[in-house]
Chain A
Amino acid sequence: MPPETQYNLKSPGVKRLMREAIELANPTEEYYAAPLEDNLFEWHFTVRGPPETEFEGGYYHGRILLPVQYPMQPPNIILLTPNGRFEVNKKICLSISGYHPETWQPSWSIRTALLALIAFMPSKGAGTIGSLDYTPEERQILARKSISWECPTCGNVADKLLKAKASPTLTVEESSMLETIALKAEEDVNRKEAKSTEEPEGLRDNANKVEMQATPFTLPQNDANNGQNSSLRQRNIPNITLVQQDITNDILETSNERNKRDIFWIVVIYSEFVAF
């Protein structure tokens, strides 16, 4: 856990995150999450691919970005492990299908978000932004490869979870929430290079990735519009709302320093991709 002196311990939001860090300190079979050593507002997590799906046997690692208003505002999830269901390096935030993101409830937690992510993995991507519609075979291959995937910060992630398998114990509220959950991909203005249309090719063709690495921040401005088109096409699909988030200025990443670190991250991640 980050050194306590760094934060205003009187702030309920900071106390809450400290509390969650203690609550989640022990890994379970399904998930493990912990704050970065130097930043209580950024966590890394690992989830086990849900059994009896094409993600079975896979370990999926990612970042959780907490807005300064947490828990009044929802956490954002970014997957780092190639998985064939969600694009990597793209914010996904929790929502409730058919409603606006402010239906996030402060009584939910990082644990709730991870359970929702696991529950949502086997659902159809339906070609919306942030989603990937890989075939089950491709996802199985990625699931197998994920065992040896390493996070530049956390190292090998497959051994972060407890070995045994069991169903998660959910509270009543969590179960009812999971029935209505939707995930919402978010277009981050600072992260436009993680372009949706290039992701699948990038995974299969390393050459593309190398090129992206060289010019990570010069993607066309109309990227956002692609997203809106996708979400327009998506309107007739019931229950699953994967909509592009309009704007992110109320989300945490405002300081230049953080953005710089994100740039560093993205480069590191793409190098991983190439190696992969």
Chain B
Amino acid sequence: MGDQAEGLTNNSSETNIESSGNQDELIMAQQRQIEKEISETIPLVGELEAITTLSSEYSTDEVYLSKIKDLVSKYSHIRRTRPDGNCFFRAFSYATLERLLGDKEEFIKFYKLAENSKSILVELGFQQFTVEDFYDTYMEVLKRLADIDNVEAAKKELHTIFNEQGYSDYMVVYLRLLTSAQLQKEQDFYSCFIEGNRTVADFCHQEVEPMYKDSDHIHIMAACSALNTGVRVSYMDRGTGTTVTQHDLPEGCIPTVHLLYRPTHYDILYV
């Protein structure tokens, strides 16, 4: 940190004629470093908290407070996730599995879907042995959960797994890969959502597959299709209105996962 700041100062004094672009990059790098340090103090996936705890974050913000009031009328609890750029994938994966633990039949269906997913990725040209590495860990986690009969004990295990950095990140990577595969499989459909001159494959390599890359609408749509799961996202920002805006993805689905979106971050909501 210190070195970086120092480098920045010296740099600007010596080369103030040079383009400021590089300084922007350095500032951004520093910003990212600060964010990283803050985010690492937050658990990867937190404990269940009453939805009303949100109010304390915005005690003086009327817009947010009225929207929280709306949220409280719809949801009872929130589970926060670490804001590290992987929050959507982590939250979505966690919430999906958590729900499935209470529904054996659905869990078995999901397990079978996951079992068949590796070949799709290999066909798309991903390096077989690294895909296998993520796949094996993903299946190992599903198996560990399936082997626990008691639902509460299984949920506890899920929570433990998702807070172990290694396993948790592997779950994120695999969902990122599945999302990328979904986007590429249906690229005719998704290409119209991609800005700029990028192909769907480029977009996947740059915005979906790398870790710590934030998720957008398009990621969510593809992830939902990949896991065959409907999600309801409640958007809460400082925009006009006194209620949160809700979107179901895919449109018209019966959502089984509920997420709260505040600019650049997703948490899990519970009805």
Contact = CB atoms under 8 A, between A and B. Distances in A.
B126 A176 contact: no
A109 interface: yes
Interface stretch (B66-74, B109-117, B206-214, B260-268): B206-214
Majority SS at the chain B contact face: helix
Given A19-B133, A112-B127, A232 B15 contact: yes
A129 B10 CA distance: 18
A224 B206 CA distance: 29
B7 A107 contact: no
Contact of A172 (B11, B125, B130, B131): B125
B154 interface: no
Interface in A62-102: 69, 71-72, 96, 99, 102
A247 B34 CA distance: 13
Contacts of B206: 96, 99, 103
A106 B167 CA distance: 13
B11 A107 contact: no
A173 interface: yes
Given A13-B166, A19-B133, A71-B130, A104 B15 contact: no
Contacts of A235: 19, 21-22
Contacts of B64: none
Interface string A26-50: 0000000000000000000000000
A167 interface: no
Contacts, number: 113
B171 to A, nearest CB: 10
Contacts of A229: 11, 14-15, 18
A247 B125 contact: no
A177 B125 contact: no
Contacts of B213: 102-103
A246 interface: yes
Nearest to B17: A232
A162 interface: no
A109 B130 contact: yes
A177 B211 CA distance: 16
Please name the 8 residue pairs, one residue from A and one from B, whose CB atoms are nearest each other, closest first: A172-B125, A232-B18, A12-B166, A228-B11, A107-B130, A105-B209, A173-B125, A247-B4
Interface of B: 1, 3-4, 7, 10-11, 14-15, 18-19, 21-22, 26, 29-30, 33, 36, 124-131, 133-134, 137, 165-167, 169-170, 173, 177, 201, 205-206, 209-213
21 contacts: A12-B133, A12-B166, A12-B169, A12-B170, A99-B206, A102-B213, A106-B134, A107-B126, A107-B131, A171-B126, A171-B128, A173-B126, A176-B201, A189-B3, A225-B14, A228-B7, A229-B11, A246-B7, A246-B29, A247-B29, A247-B33
